[in-house]
């Protein structure tokens, strides 16, 4: 019988991918943990522009007014009287919270004044109208 030598060493040899897969999963977990997610309430408004600004770090109460003068509070559409009832509960729990009005720049000023008046009459000490920075 003739002995023929083959260049193939061992037919059972293969590339072990386990360490590579472990590293990929670790990187995936790292990026998922370090990613910041921006939370939005889903109300589409265009804020008016202003040069002065202050950053608020505390927990606050946010009210949205769309360009159709619809009022949204905690993601729900409300009338002025319903808003008064909901705000009464929140302001009673913590009167030190800042009430932020995020009103579309095309919304009527009248509705914004009424909302701020309701908040002030319920005991809110800090009232803020949100704007975006004017980059001009």
Question: What pLDDT was estimated at residue 126?
Answer: 83
> Would you say residue 109 lies in a domain?
yes
> Would you say residue 81 lies in a domain?
yes
Question: What pLDDT was estimated at residue 25?
Answer: 94
> Would you say residue 73 lies in a domain?
yes
Q: Tens digit of pLDDT for each residue in 80-112?
A: 888 888 888 888 887 678 888 888 888 888 888
- Does residue 8 register a pLDDT over 60? no
Provide the CB-side half-sphere exposure for 130 (13 A, CA): 18
Split into its structural domains, the chain has a count of 1
Q: What are the beta bridge partners of residue 132?
A: 49
Q: Which two tokens stand for residue 23?
A: 């590293």
> Would you say residue 2 lies in a domain?
no
Question: What pLDDT was estimated at residue 40?
Answer: 60
> Which CATH number do you get for residue 69?
3.30.420.270
* Range of the structural domain that residue 101 is part of: 49-133
Question: What pLDDT was estimated at residue 53?
Answer: 62
The model carries a pTM of: 0.60
Inter-CA distances, 129 with 8, 10, 20, 49, 116, Å: 76, 75, 52, 11, 9
Q: How far apart are CA 58 and CA 48, in angstroms?
A: 22
Q: Which two tokens stand for residue 125?
A: 């000490």
> Would you say residue 13 lies in a domain?
no
């Amino acid at each position: 019988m003739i002995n023929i030598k083959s260049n193939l060493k061992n037919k059972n040899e293969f590339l072990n991918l386990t360490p590579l897969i472990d590293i990929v999963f670790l990187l995936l977990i790292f990026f998922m943990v370090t990613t910041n997610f921006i939370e939005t309430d889903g109300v589409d408004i265009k804020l008016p522009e202003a040069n002065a600004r202050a950053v608020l770090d505390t927990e606050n109460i946010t009210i949205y007014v769309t360009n159709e003068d619809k009022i949204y509070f905690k993601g729900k559409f409300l009338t002025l009287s319903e808003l008064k009832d909901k705000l009464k509960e929140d302001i009673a729990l913590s009167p030190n919270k800042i009430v932020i009005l995020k009103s579309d720049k095309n919304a009527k000023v009248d509705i914004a004044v009424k909302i701020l008046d309701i908040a002030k009459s319920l005991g809110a000490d800090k009232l803020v109208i949100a704007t975006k920075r004017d980059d001009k």
